[in-house]
Amino acid sequence: MAQIDIKNCTIKFVDGTTPTANELQVKVGEGNLTWTEKRNILFIKDRGHLDLVREGDKVPVEVSLSFVWQFLQGMSTDVTPTPEEVLKQSGPASSWVTTDSDTCRPYAIDIVVLDVLNCGGTDDEKITLSDFRYESLDHDLKAGTVAMTGKCNITSATAVRF
């Protein structure tokens, strides 16, 4: 299980493909991100002894994300959706399209967590959770808090320069 403190990070909820992707940027005050990667292993025994180990189908990554936001910024100056509206594809985010090319699959978004150090060091980090589908969501608009769990297809974490 990987866990990181996302205090002062920026989270992007991205839907669609560049350059016309819809995007909500969230500046995080306090928060945590955890994810668990699993894989199915099929153990085959031959005459009572472990003979062969084979990886099975990939299992989606389980994600838990909770944070308190400082401010939200949408792509336009019209109406900025809340994280809840983006996750549920409702309100101003109701016209967002799925990130998945298969229109029969459920709505999903990409979540990108950017941790950019103010000192301009080389430890900046970018974590991408592709095709995230939430399973549980606790959202308090007045307090500016979001806690969610769900699954995604791919997780990538890289140290990058922005």
Asked whether the predicted pLDDT for residue 98 surpasses 90, the reply is no
The pLDDT, as a whole number, for residue 101 is 67
Residues in the chain: 162
The pLDDT, as a whole number, for residue 83 is 93
Give the residue among 28, 25, 57 at the shortest CA–CA distance from 41. 57
The pLDDT, as a whole number, for residue 48 is 61
Domains contained in the chain, CATH given: 2-37+61-159 (2.30.110)
Q: Which amino acid is at 152?
A: C
Asked whether the predicted pLDDT for residue 56 surpasses 60, the reply is no
The pLDDT, as a whole number, for residue 61 is 86
Across residues 134-162, what is the average pLDDT? Answer: 82
What percent of the chain clears pLDDT 90, i.e. is strictly above it?
36
Asked whether the predicted pLDDT for residue 51 surpasses 60, the reply is no
Q: Which of 83-92, 116-125, 136-145 has the lowest mean pLDDT?
A: 116-125
**Distances 121 to 76, 144, 161 between C-alpha atoms, Å:** 31, 30, 9
Give yes or no for a contact between 13 and 24, defined as CB atoms under 8 angstroms apart: yes
pTM over 0.85: no
Highest mean pLDDT among 13-22, 61-70, 107-116 belongs to: 61-70
Higher pLDDT, 45 or 4: 4
